[in-house]
Amino acid sequence: MEPNLESADRTLRMTAGVFLILGGLLLLSLSYLDILESWWFIIAGCMAILGISGVLSAVTGKCMMRKAIGH
């Protein structure tokens, strides 16, 4: 597979992914300490999964949705 992301796209995905992971960890810790309600675990998990997928997409340089959306 050849990379289909440019340098600016990879930087944006890496930055957004890291912030999503950190935000997910923050929400997870606040929910664990009972500062937030327990349903915030779901949002924290979704944020962490999106962040990890963004970082992996930036590392590989491949956007899997490009073919699906027609670019």
pLDDT of residue 63 exceeding 90: no
Averaged pLDDT, 21-48: 93
pLDDT at 20: 96
pLDDT of residue 71 exceeding 80: no
Greater pLDDT, 62 or 67: 62
Averaged pLDDT, 16-39: 94
DSSP string, 9-45: HHHHHHHHHHHHHHHHHHHHHHHHTTSS-TTHHHHHH
